[in-house]
Structure 1
Amino acid sequence: MENFRVLLVDDNPVNLDVLRVTLKQIADCQVLIANSGQRALELMQRSPPDLVLLDVMMPDMNGFDVCRKIRSTEQLQAIPVIFVTACTEDVSTGFEVGGNDYIGKPINSSEVIARVNHQRERARLHRELEQLNCELEEKVRDRTAALVVSNRQLREEIKERRYMQDRLQYLATHDFVTRLYNRNAFDDRATKAVQAAQLGVEEGCLVQLDLDRFRLINESCGYIAGDELLRQFADMLASVIEPDDFLARLGSDKFALICHDLNHGRRLVKFLQQQVKDFEFSWDDRVFSLDASFALVRINRSIVSFDQLMLMVDEVVYQLKQQKVPFLTYDDITQSNPEGRGKVKWAIRIMDGLKREKFRIFFQKVVPLTAPAGADKGRPLVRIETLVRLWDSQKSRVIFPDEFIPSAERYNLIGEIDRWMVASVLQYFSAHVDLLDAVDKISINLSAVSIRDPQLVNFITKILQETGVPPNKVSFEITETEAIINMGSAKQFIDELHRVGVSFALDDFGSGFCSFNYLRELPFDALKIDGVFIKDIDKNTTHLELVKSIIDVGKQLDKVIVAEFVENQAIAEILISLGVGWGQGYFFHKPAPIEELQQGVALLLASGKR
C-alpha cells in the first residue's frame, strides 16, 4: 500500500513528538515535520503531503495565515488541513480560512488517529473517484462504436461514480462524529434562509443550542466518551425534529436548528427542553445528566446578511449567560433592553465600515507647556495624537468613538479597528515623508483587549518595517481599564515593542482603582492625566490637589506627563506652574482630519510657536 504522507507543523518540539509517536500507530503513515509556517510551505512546494496537521499559535506566521497560503496556491489548495488548537474560539476561524477539521489540545491519541484516518479515507475515495473518471472517459472513447452492447456496463459504472460523488459530498457537508450537517453546510443553509426572507418567500427562525455540561464529561471521562455523548445527543435531536427542519453541529458543544416557522421553533424548543432534562448518558457505570441553553432569532426581512444573523444569535447567547436563564429570543431581549438591538446594528455598521473603508483618521496636537530637556529651541516640537472616526455616508457626518467603540468591544471587533488604525496611520506617514520629518511623536490608541492578541507585536513590527516609519516616533496609548487582566502578558507586549524602539503612554490616568498599580507594574514611558480631573482644576480644588499628587508621582518616576482636556488659558497657566510637560485640548487644537495636518505643521513651523 502507498504511504500516506502527513506533515506536522508546530513550533513546539513536545507537541511534534507526541503527534509523531501517535501517528506511528497508523500503518503506512509517513510523517514529515516542519517547525514553522514558512518551512512547512517550502516543504509542501517541493513535495506536497497528503495531509497537514497545523498548529494555530506560531511565531512569524500563524496557522491561519499558513492555511490561507495553502488555499491560494493552486498545487496545494486540495490538501486537507486539520488545525491543532487548545482554544475553541479558533475553530470557527479555522473553518473560515479553509480548514477541514480540528484536533483539540491537550492531544488525545484516539482522537488524532480517528481524524487522520477520516481524512485518509476521504483521500482514498477521492483518488478512486479520479481514477474512475479517467477510466470512464477512456471507455467512452473506446466503446462509442459498441454503445448498445456496453450500455448496461456503462450504466453500472456511472452509478458507481455517482455513489462516490455523493459520498464525497456527504463527507464535505457532514460532521463525522455526529453525522449531522457541519458548519460549512449550516453557513450555506442559513444564508439561503436569509435570502428567502428578503424575497418574501418564507420567514423562519434560527435556534442555537449550547450544552452546558459537555466539557465536564469530555474532560473527566475522555474524548472518546465526549464523542459518544455527542453522537447519542445528536441522534436524540434528529429523532424529534421535522423533515423540513435543518439540524447542524456548529462545533464543540454547539448545535443549530433552522426552522421554517417561528411558532414551530418555539414549540420545538419547549419540547427539546424536556428532552434534555430526560436525557441521560452512561459511561463506565456513571450516569450523567445534561443542561442546555437555547437562543432563538426570528429570520425576517429586517435581517439582510448572514453576518447580521450570527451577531444577533451571539447577542442572545451573551444575554443567556448574563441572565442565567435557559431560553431567550432576540425579540425578548430587544423589548426588555432596546440597547441590545442598537449594539447589533452598530456591530454591523462597524463590519461594513471595515469592509468599505469608512473609517477615517483624525488628529489633535499635543503642545509643549515647558521646554523638554535637549529640545531644539529653533525648531518647534510637533506631537499629535491620532484618533479614529467613522464616516456616516447617509447623513454625511462623522461618528465619534463613544458611539461605536462599546459595540466594537462587545463583539470583539475592537482588535480589527486597532489594526486598521495602526496600519493606516503608519502608511499615511510613509506616503508623506515631509510630515514624518516634521512630527516629533505620533500617538496611536490601542485597546487593552488588543494587547492580549499574541500576533499583534508581529503585526506592528511588520508594518513598521514595511512603511519605514522610525519606531522612536511612534507611541501607543493604552487606556487604564480593567481589561488589562494579565499583567505578565501586558508587560511582555510592552517590553517587546520597547526593544523595537516604540514608546508607551498610560492614558486616562487616575480614572480607575488600578492606576498606580499599572504604573508600578508596567513600563510606561508617559502618563496622560484623565481629562475629568483637568477640565475644572481652575475651579475645583479637590481635582487640583489630585492633579498635583499625580504630577508628583510622575516626576518621581521620571515619566513624561501629559494633561488632557485643557480648555482655557487659566487651566493652561496652572499646568505650566505645576511643571506639566505637555498639554492637549480644545484650547490648543480641536481634532481635525489627518489631511489638514500638512497645513497645520507648516503654520507651526513657520511661526516657531504653538
Structure 2
Amino acid sequence: MLPASPTLLAVDDEPRLLNSMRDLLSLNGYEVDLESDSRNAIERLRTGHYDIALLDLKMPHVNGQQIMQYVAQHNIPTDIIVISGEASFETAVEALRLGAHDFLTKPYTPEQLLKRLDNTLAQRRLRRDATAYQKRLRNSEKLHRFLVNTSPDIIYVLNEEGCFTFLNKRVTQLLGFTRDDLIDKHYTTLVHEEDQELARFTFNERRTGKRATHNVELRLRTKGGSGGHRSFSTQLMCIELNAIGLYSSTGHDNERRHVGTYGVARDISERKQAEETIRYQAHHDLLTGLPNRTLFKDRLNMMIAQARRTGHKVAVMFIDLDRFKIVNDTLGHVIGDQLLRAAGQSMQECLRDADTLARLGGDEFVILLPQVTDHKSASAVSSKIIAALKQPFVINQRELFISASIGIAMFPDDGSTDDELIKNADIAMYSVKNDSRGGYAFYAQAMGSEFSQHMDLEMDLRRALSKEEFAVYYQPQFDTTNRRIVGIEALLRWQHPERGMLYPDSFIPLAEEIDLISRITLWVLDATTAQMRQWMDAGIAPPRLAVNLSALDLKHTTIVDETIQTLQRHGVPGNRLELEITETLIAQDITRATHHLTALSHHGINIAIDDFGTGYSSLNYLHRLPIHTLKIDRSFVRDIAPERNERSVIDAIIVMAHGFNLKVIAEGVETEAQRDWLEQRNCHTMQGYLFSRPLPVQDIEELLRASQADQENPGLIQANRHNA
C-alpha cells in the first residue's frame, strides 16, 4: 500500500514555479519537498524515499537526463514525471526511453499535473501489489509457471528449427491466437512480412550474454489480418523484444549444442501511440488539425528546392481573418475556436490536394501553392477563398460573418528562402488590411518600405506616453439659443518629433491593434480631469467635459473602477464628465455595454452616443442604456441642403432624441446655413469650425474666460469662428 500522503520531490531551478507547485500539491494531500539544485536532488533521491519526482530537464550543473540515468543505474524506486518547457518530439521520446513515466509540457494546467500524478500513483500501486504477491509466492513450486502465465509480456521458447514449443497465456490476450494455434508453428507465422529479415537475427536469437538481443522493436500480426499499426487498428502489434539462445551440454569437453531460443516480447503499442501523438502535435495545430509553422516551412523548403530544378514558381499566401477579433472578444473563445475550424475547412475546400494550408496562430493562416506557372493561379485561389469566407458561418445557430485579407509572395521573384517568402507575404497582407480589407495583393518592394514605416510608428507610439508627446485639444460645444458654452470635447493629438502633429485617425487604430489603447484612454481621462479641476478652481469650468472611449475600452473589466478613481483623485464630480461611445461599440456586446455604462451612470457620469446614425441605430439600446446625449454625425451635417424641404435622417434623429428626453448635439457645423437649418429643427447645441476649431489649453481658457465674463455677447460665436 502507498502511504496516505504520497511523497514528492519537485526539482526545478525556478523558485517561483517550485513554490506554486508546492502550494497546489499540498492542497491536494501531497507531501512535497522542493529542490532547485540538481546535485542536491540526486542526493535526496539516493537517501530519501520519494514516490514521484517532478523533474525539469534543463538544470545547471547536472541536467534532467543525467538525473534519470543515475536513478536507473542505482535502481532507485522513484517514478519520474518530466516537466519541461521544451516540447520537441525528440526530447519527449528520449525522456521516455531514459525511464520517465510521463512527460508534461510547460505551461501546464493544475488539472493536467494532478491527473498525471493520479495515473502514476495508480500504476505504482499496481506494481507494489504485484511485488507483494510475488513475494508471497516466491517459495511456491508454482511460482515460475505463475510468473510466466501472468506476465504482462509474451514469453516464448523456440526449438532449433525456429518453431514454438512454449507460449504463455499472454499471447492470447495480446494477439488473439491460442497457444494451440501456434505450438509447432514457425515463428514467421507471427512476424510482419516487412520485419522478417530483422526477426531472423533477433526473434530466433542464437547468441547469449551481452551479444544477445535487447530491446529490438518488431511488429507482430494479430489473429485476423495484417493491416495497419495496432495503434490505429487491431491488425498489428508493436513489441520490444529481448531474446537469448538456449544451449545444452553434449557431455564432450564442455561442448554445447543449440537447442532453441528463449524470448520475451513486450507490448509497446501505447508507447508508440504516444510517440506518434507527440510527433503529430509537433507538426500540427491542435485546434484545427492543420499543419503548423514547422511543417509548413518543411514543405515550403522542399517545394523551393524542387522549383529550382524545374523552373516553376511557388506561391505563398498569408491570410488574416478580418473581424475575427470582434467575434472572439464578443462571443467568447469557444465560439471563436469553432469559427476558426470552420474557416479552415472552408479554405481547405478551395485548394488542390498538393497545396498546403497551415495555421500559424490566432486568426493567421498560410497557404503553399507549389508548381504554379504565373500570378493567375494564385489570384484564382485568392478569389475563391475570399468568396468562400464571405458566406455566413452558422455557429451555435448564430450566423457569423468574416472576410479575409490575403498577401501573396512568389518564388523566386519575391524571395529565395522560406522566411523571406512568408515575411513578404505578411507585408503584402498588411497592405491590404491597411487599405481596404477583404481583398488580396501581390508583394511589391514599395510595400516593404511602408511596412517598415508602420513598424517605426508602432515603436514610436509605445514610447509616446513616457516621452509626454501626447496633448489634449479642446473643442467647445455651444448652445446657439443663448450663445453659451455648454460643454467641451477633449480631442487627443500626438506631437510626433519627426512627423509633426498627428490626429487620432492616424494612430488610434494602431494603438488598438497593439493593445495600447487602454493606457492612452486612462492618460486622457487623468489629464482632462486634472484640467477640469483647475478650471473649477479658477471659476471658468464648462458644465461638462466630453471624453471619447475606444471600441476596446469597454471590454476591460476595470474601466469603471479606474474612471471613478480618476474623478475621486482630482475631486471632480461625476456629472462634470461625459463619455462618448460609438454605436458600433454598443452593438458588439450590448450586455457588457449595459453593465459598464449603468455602473458609470450611477456615479453621475453622462453617456453620449457619438456618430449617431452611422452604425446600428436601435431603439432597443436607447431604451436599455443610460444614455443622455445623441451626437449627429458630421457626415449628415455636411449633406445639409437648405434649399430642399424634404425630411432627412437628421429630422428623425432629433425627433427620436426629444422622444427619449435626450440632449442632441450636431457636430461638424461649418456654415451659417447649416446652423440656421439645424436651429429651425430645434437642434440648438452644436460644435464645429463655424464656432471654434479644437484649441490648446491656453486658447480654450481665454474662450472660457470671455464666455464667463459676457454670457450674453451675441457676437461670441462668430468672434471665435477662426480661432486656431
TM-score, normalised via structure 2 length: 0.44
- Identify which of 479, 490, 494 aligns with 1:368: 479
Q: Decide whether the 8 Å contact of 2:35 with 2:41 is kept in 1.
A: no
Q: How far 1:120 moved relative to its partner?
A: 9.2
- SS of equivalent to 1:481: helix
- Identify which of 399, 410, 413 aligns with 2:502: 399
Q: Decide whether the 8 Å contact of 1:365 with 1:383 is kept in 2.
A: yes
- SS of equivalent to 1:561: strand
- Identify which of 411, 427, 439 aligns with 1:334: 427
Q: State how far apart, in whole Å, the 1-side matches of 2:90 and 2:699 are.
A: 59
Task: Summarize deviations over 1:266-314 as a string: whole Å, max 9, x none.
Answer: 86999xx9xxxxxxxxxxxxxxxx97324799xxxxxxxxxxxxxxxxx
Unaligned runs of 5+ in 2: 44-58, 68-81, 93-103, 108-272, 307-313, 318-355, 367-388, 390-401, 410-421, 435-446, 717-724
1:531 match: 634
- What letter corresponds to residue 488 of structure 2 in structure 1? I
Q: Which has the larger radius of gyration?
A: 2
Unaligned runs of 5+ in 1: 1-24, 30-49, 51-76, 83-99, 102-111, 134-159, 185-225, 238-247, 274-289, 298-319, 373-379
Alignment of 1:150-165 (within 5 A): 162-163=61-62
Q: How far 1:592 moved relative to its partner?
A: 1.7
1:563 and 2:666 equivalent? yes
* Two-structure CA RMSD over aligned residues (Å): 5.4
Alignment of 1:214-293 (within 5 A): 231-234=278-281, 292-293=358-359
Q: Check 1:235–1:529 CA distance in 2 against 1; reply closer, same or farther (3 A cut).
A: closer
Q: Decide whether the 8 Å contact of 2:358 with 2:365 is kept in 1.
A: no
Q: State how far apart, in whole Å, the 2-side matches of 1:177 and 1:124 are.
A: 28
Answer with 514-523 or 338-347: which moved more: 338-347
Q: Decide whether the 8 Å contact of 1:534 with 1:566 is kept in 2.
A: yes
Q: How far 1:164 moved relative to its partner?
A: 6.6
2:617 match: 514
Q: Decide whether the 8 Å contact of 2:5 with 2:31 is kept in 1.
A: no
Q: Decide whether the 8 Å contact of 1:533 with 1:543 is kept in 2.
A: no
Alignment of 1:38-117 (within 5 A): 79-80=16-17
- SS of equivalent to 2:36: helix
Q: Check 1:324–1:598 CA distance in 2 against 1; reply closer, same or farther (3 A cut).
A: closer
Q: Check 1:435–1:511 CA distance in 2 against 1; reply closer, same or farther (3 A cut).
A: farther
Task: Summarize deviations over 1:79-120 as a string: whole Å, max 9, x none.
Answer: 4499xxxxxxxxxxxxxxxxx89xxxxxxxxxx879999x99
Q: Decide whether the 8 Å contact of 1:177 with 1:227 is kept in 2.
A: no
- What letter corresponds to residue 563 of structure 2 in structure 1? I
1:593 match: 696
1:384 match: 488
Q: How far 1:386 moved relative to its partner?
A: 0.2
Q: Check 1:437–1:364 CA distance in 2 against 1; reply closer, same or farther (3 A cut).
A: same
Q: Check 1:113–1:259 CA distance in 2 against 1; reply closer, same or farther (3 A cut).
A: farther
Q: How far 1:578 moved relative to its partner?
A: 2.2
Aligned length: 388
Task: Summarize deviations over 1:408-438 as a string: whole Å, max 9, x none.
Answer: 3444443333233223322333455535762
Q: Decide whether the 8 Å contact of 1:361 with 1:387 is kept in 2.
A: yes
Task: Summarize deviations over 1:429-467 as a string: whole Å, max 9, x none.
Answer: 345553576221000001233212222112112222222
1:460 match: 563
Q: Check 1:172–1:587 CA distance in 2 against 1; reply closer, same or farther (3 A cut).
A: farther
- Identify which of 552, 559, 562 aligns with 2:655: 552
- What letter corresponds to residue 679 of structure 2 in structure 1? I
Q: Check 1:235–1:430 CA distance in 2 against 1; reply closer, same or farther (3 A cut).
A: same
Answer with 360-369 or 462-471: which moved more: 462-471
Q: State how far apart, in whole Å, the 2-side matches of 1:559 and 1:493 are.
A: 20
- What letter corresponds to residue 231 of structure 1 in structure 2? I
Q: State how far apart, in whole Å, the 1-side matches of 2:550 and 2:661 are.
A: 25
Q: How far 1:570 moved relative to its partner?
A: 2.2
Q: State how far apart, in whole Å, the 2-side matches of 1:526 and 1:510 are.
A: 13
- What letter corresponds to residue 280 of structure 2 in structure 1? F
- What letter corresponds to residue 61 of structure 2 in structure 1? R
Alignment of 1:427-438 (within 5 A): 427-430=530-533, 433-434=536-537, 438=541
Task: Summarize deviations over 1:371-397 as a string: whole Å, max 9, x none.
Answer: 59xxxxxxx5451000112222113x2
Q: Decide whether the 8 Å contact of 1:531 with 1:565 is kept in 2.
A: yes
Task: Summarize deviations over 1:323-372 as a string: whole Å, max 9, x none.
Answer: 49899823124346635565743444432324433222111001112359
- SS of equivalent to 1:514: coil
1:419 match: 522
1:470 match: 573
TM-score, normalised via structure 1 length: 0.51
Q: Check 1:494–1:538 CA distance in 2 against 1; reply closer, same or farther (3 A cut).
A: same
2:174 match: none
- What letter corresponds to residue 393 of structure 1 in structure 2? P
- Identify which of 595, 606, 625 aligns with 1:503: 606
Task: Summarize deviations over 1:509-554 as a string: whole Å, max 9, x none.
Answer: 1113434443233221110111111234244637863222211111
Q: Decide whether the 8 Å contact of 1:26 with 1:113 is kept in 2.
A: no
Q: Check 1:485–1:182 CA distance in 2 against 1; reply closer, same or farther (3 A cut).
A: same
Alignment of 1:115-264 (within 5 A): 124-126=34-36, 162-163=61-62, 174=86, 231-234=278-281
- What letter corresponds to residue 334 of structure 1 in structure 2? I
Q: Decide whether the 8 Å contact of 2:535 with 2:541 is kept in 1.
A: no
Q: Decide whether the 8 Å contact of 1:536 with 1:543 is kept in 2.
A: no
Q: State how far apart, in whole Å, the 2-side matches of 1:480 and 1:161 are.
A: 57
Q: Decide whether the 8 Å contact of 1:389 with 1:401 is kept in 2.
A: yes
Q: Check 1:130–1:385 CA distance in 2 against 1; reply closer, same or farther (3 A cut).
A: farther
1:352 and 2:463 equivalent? yes
Higher relative contact order (CA 8 A, sep 6+): 1
Task: Summarize deviations over 1:449-503 as a string: whole Å, max 9, x none.
Answer: 3212222112112222222221110000011226632211111111101111111
Report the identity percentage. 21
Q: Decide whether the 8 Å contact of 1:363 with 1:385 is kept in 2.
A: yes
Q: Decide whether the 8 Å contact of 1:362 with 1:593 is kept in 2.
A: yes
Q: State how far apart, in whole Å, the 1-side matches of 2:599 and 2:90 are.
A: 44
Q: State how far apart, in whole Å, the 1-side matches of 2:707 and 2:517 are.
A: 34
Q: Decide whether the 8 Å contact of 1:435 with 1:598 is kept in 2.
A: no
Q: Check 1:593–1:364 CA distance in 2 against 1; reply closer, same or farther (3 A cut).
A: same
Q: State how far apart, in whole Å, the 2-side matches of 1:591 and 1:519 are.
A: 29
Q: Check 1:336–1:454 CA distance in 2 against 1; reply closer, same or farther (3 A cut).
A: closer
Task: Summarize deviations over 1:574-596 as a string: whole Å, max 9, x none.
Answer: 22232224110001110122343
Answer with 418-427 or 357-366: which moved more: 418-427
Q: State how far apart, in whole Å, the 2-side matches of 1:405 and 1:508 are.
A: 17
Q: Check 1:508–1:359 CA distance in 2 against 1; reply closer, same or farther (3 A cut).
A: same
- SS of equivalent to 2:588: coil
Q: Check 1:296–1:566 CA distance in 2 against 1; reply closer, same or farther (3 A cut).
A: closer
Task: Summarize deviations over 1:138-177 as a string: whole Å, max 9, x none.
Answer: xxxxxxxxxxxxxxxxxxxxxx972279999x97854699
